[in-house]
Amino acid sequence: MHANRAWWLLGLIGVGAALLGGLIYMSSPGQVLANLKAVGVWGFLAVLGNVLCSLVAWLISWGILLRGAGIKVPWSGVGVALVSGYSISYLTPSMYLGGEPVRAYLVSKQASVPMARVMATVVVERLL
């Protein structure tokens, strides 16, 4: 079971790396490098820090909503569902309908609660 999960994780990381490489290739590697040089190390770290802080705030807020609804999921489970949904939302053309059901599905399976119950917390979180 654990070996299978490790292969899945490696496969997903590989797919992510391939997609990132494809985006860099399509955007002209020289132009991407020029933009990275233009912002510098501190600019890059500032953007990275901003993204990470946003994800942590999003994780905490949805985790609080889940707990308020009586859905007990470890923080790691909330994080995996959140990042999975976030990733899928960026790969699908529909703004909020791509990754949100995936988030609800992952948490509902982990917490053994109906998906509709988890989806209600997703809707509230999106409205806030």
Cβ neighbors of 1 (< 8 A, separation 6 or more) are none
Distance CA 24, CA 108 (A): 36
Question: Global pTM?
Answer: 0.74
Read off the pLDDT band of 95 (50, 70, 90). low
The pLDDT tens digits of the residues spanning 24-73 come to 899 899 999 999 999 999 999 999 999 999 999 999 999 999 999 999 99
Residue extents of the structural domains in the chain: 2-127
How much is the pLDDT for 13? Answer: 80
Distance CA 108, CA 83 (A): 16
